Amino acid sequence: MSQGKRVGIVGAGNVGATVAYSLAMLGSCHEIILRDNKIDVAKGKALDMSQAASAVRSHTVVSVAEEMSDLVDCDVVVVTAGSPRLPGMSRDDLLMINANITKDVIKGIAKYSPNAIVIMVSNPLDAMTYVALKESGFDRSRVIGMAGILDSSRMAAFIQEKLGYGGGQIRASVMGGHGDDMVPLPRYSTVAGVPLSDVLTQDEIDEIVDRTRHGGAEIVGYLKTGSAYYAPAKSTAIMVDAILKDTKQIHPCAVCLDGEYGYNDVVSGVPVMLGAKGAEKIIEVTLDEKENAMFAQSCASVQTLIDTLNKNNFFEGK
C-alpha cells in the first residue's frame, strides 16, 4: 500500500457519490478519484464533497478522472457503474448490459491500477464479481463483491423494527448470493448476544427472513425511479475502510469459492477477513441441513448467470 491512500470510484451516481462522501467524511484516504461518463456532474460532486471534507477538517481531496488513464495507482477501486435496477426488473435482466460495462471498466483498472483491490457493487452483484475476476486476471482475494454487509444490515434493521429495541446491539448474518435466494441465518443472529429465537417467535423470524430477501425490491417499489443507495454505499465504505486500515475484521462479502463450502469457480457471499491484501481469509461456518440446502440453491442461481454468460461466449479468448 502506498503512503497516500488513493481510492478510485467508477460510477458517480447515487451509490458511487455516496461512497465517496462517506469516505471523505471519515478521512479514510488521502484522495478519492471519481470516474463517470458525465464528467461535469462528477466535477460538481467532487467540488461539493471536497468542500464538505474541509468543513469537517478531513484531509481527503476528491478529484475527477476525465479519462480512465487518470484512475492511476489506486489502492482500492469501487465499481458501481452500470444500469440501475428499475421497477419490474430482476437482477438477472441486468446481466448482459452490465457484464459488458464491467468488462470495459475492469480492463482500464487492470491497466492503470494493476495493484488495486476491486470492490464490485454493480448488479447482478455475484455475476459482476465473477466477470471482474475473470477479466482482470487478479487473484481472487483482490476482487470482492459488496452484498453481505448490506443484506445483514437490512436484516438487522428489520429485527430492530420488529422488536422495538436493541438498536446498535443487533448482529444479523446473511450468506449466499445477493438476490432472492440469499441465505439469512437467524441461527447466527443475535441481540446483545441473545439468540434471535429467544426474543422472537418463529413466525416473526420467518417474516424478517422473507423481508430481508426482498429488501432491495421494497425500496425500489417506493422510489419508483431508482434503487437504494445510502445503505449500499455505507456498506461499501465499511469494506474500503477495513482494507485501507488493515483491520482484519470479518465481514460477509462475495468472493469466488475455491473448494470452500464444497463449491468451485462460483461467487457467493461468505464471511471473510478483510485486510490490506483484500479478502485475506475465508471463514467456513457450520451450516445445518436446511441452511446447506439454501446455500446450494443460492450458488445454483449464481451458476445459472455464469452459464448464461458462457452460452453467450462472453469470456471468449479467456
136 is in an annotated binding site: no
What's the residue count for the chain?
318
pLDDT digits (tens, 9 = 90+) for 115-159: 999 999 998 999 999 999 999 999 999 999 999 999 999 999 999
Give the residue extent of every domain in the chain.
6-146, 148-310
Q: Quick one: cell of 182?
A: 440469499
CA dihedral 95, 101, 102, 105 (to 10 degrees): 180
Residue type at position 315: F
pLDDT digits (tens, 9 = 90+) for 217-243: 999 999 988 889 999 999 999 999 999
Residue 4: which residues within 8 A CB-CB, separation 6 or more?
A: 29, 30, 31
d(Cα 78, Cα 118) in Å, to the nearest integer?
6
11 is in an annotated binding site: yes
pLDDT at 179: 85
**Is the Cβ–Cβ distance between 53 and 61 less than 8 Å?**
yes
pLDDT digits (tens, 9 = 90+) for 7-28: 999 999 999 999 999 999 999 9
DSSP state of 142: G
Q: Quick one: cell of 134?
A: 475473470
Rg (CA), the chain: 19
d(Cα 110, Cα 105) in Å, to the nearest integer?
9
98 is in an annotated binding site: yes
The reply to whether the predicted model has a pTM over 0.85 is: yes
pLDDT at 318: 60
Is a pLDDT exceeding 50 seen at residue 2? no
pLDDT digits (tens, 9 = 90+) for 78-115: 999 988 766 777 666 779 989 999 999 999 999 999 99
Is a pLDDT exceeding 70 seen at residue 51? yes
122 is in an annotated binding site: yes
Calculate the average pLDDT of the chain.
95
- pLDDT band for position 77 (50/70/90)? very high
82 is in an annotated binding site: no
Largest Cα separation within the chain, whole Å, is 55
CB-hemisphere CA count at 13 Å for 238? 20
Mean pLDDT of 70-80: 97
pLDDT at 1: 40
pLDDT digits (tens, 9 = 90+) for 246-261: 999 999 999 999 999 9
End-to-end CA distance of the chain: 29
16 is in an annotated binding site: yes
Pairing of strands 61-64, 174-175: unpaired
Q: Which residues are catalytic?
A: 178
Question: Is there a common fold for 6-146 and 148-310?
Answer: no
pLDDT digits (tens, 9 = 90+) for 178-217: 988 999 999 999 999 999 999 999 999 999 999 999 999 9
CATH level 3 topology of 6-146: Rossmann fold (3.40.50)
Is a pLDDT exceeding 90 seen at residue 59? yes
285 is in an annotated binding site: no
Range list of H helices, 56-195: 95-112, 125-136, 148-163
12 is in an annotated binding site: yes
d(Cα 276, Cα 118) in Å, to the nearest integer?
12
- pLDDT band for position 317 (50/70/90)? low
CB-hemisphere CA count at 13 Å for 220? 13
pLDDT at 91: 62
CATH level 3 topology of 148-310: L-2-Hydroxyisocaproate Dehydrogenase; Chain A, domain 2 (3.90.110)
